[in-house]
Structure 1
Amino acid sequence: MDIKKVIKRYGYTIEDVARKMGISRVTLSQNMSRNPTVGTLERIANAINCSVGEFFADEKDIPNTIICPHCGKMIKFEKV
């Protein structure tokens, strides 16, 4: 589980997410480095508009997505 990687993929920094959650960057970093609770994961996911499952998914296992080689952000697409 790489929460920092998912946060970056969505175009946010740890500071951005902490601010949205109403906590300090240090507190968020400490929560992520330990074993975060489901509640903490839900709050992080809500802050970056993703699902909690994305913290556990391998990038290649998420259907209809690619990773931008320039910025590392996940791009979702629909089949037409």
Structure 2
Amino acid sequence: MELRIKDVLKEKKVTVVSLAGMIGIAQPSMSNIVNGKSMPSLETLEKIATALEVPFTELFEQPKTGTVSLSCPHCGKSITLKAE
């Protein structure tokens, strides 16, 4: 499962440092979450969504571009599919 937190931060013009401060976690921990190096708890995801003023589901949705990115379950490589 890939999170869209980094995309939402860009859309909202919010930095990782300020988001970490808003929800009360250390900046290195927030960086790991944003960069996909650590999976946050549901409670933390709810705090992130609230701080960014977005629906919880927006942290998971793919952008509406006609493409879908998946990870190969065997090797972990990213696979992008484009709808025509």
User: Would you call these one fold, judging by a TM-score over 0.5?
Assistant: yes
Shorter-chain TM-score tier: 0.5 to 0.7
Shift in Å at residue 30 of structure 1?
A: 2.9
Tell which structure's C-alpha radius of gyration is larger.
Answer: 2
Percent identical among aligned pairs is 31
In the alignment, which residue of structure 2 is the partner of 1:57?
61
- Evaluate the alpha carbon distance shift between residue 31 and residue 60 of structure 1 in structure 2; reply closer, same or farther with a 3 A threshold: closer
Higher share in helix = 1
Q: Which runs of 5+ in 2 are unaligned?
A: 66-84
Q: Which 4+ runs in 1 deviate beyond 3 A? A: none
- Evaluate the alpha carbon distance shift between residue 60 and residue 31 of structure 1 in structure 2; reply closer, same or farther with a 3 A threshold: closer
Quick check: 2:4–2:62 contact (8 Å CA) kept in 1?
Answer: no
Tell me: higher relative CO, structure 1 or 2? Use CA pairs within 8 A at least 6 residues apart.
1
TM-score by length of 1: 0.64
Quick check: 2:22–2:51 contact (8 Å CA) kept in 1?
Answer: yes
Higher share in strand = 2
Q: Which runs of 5+ in 1 are unaligned?
A: 62-80
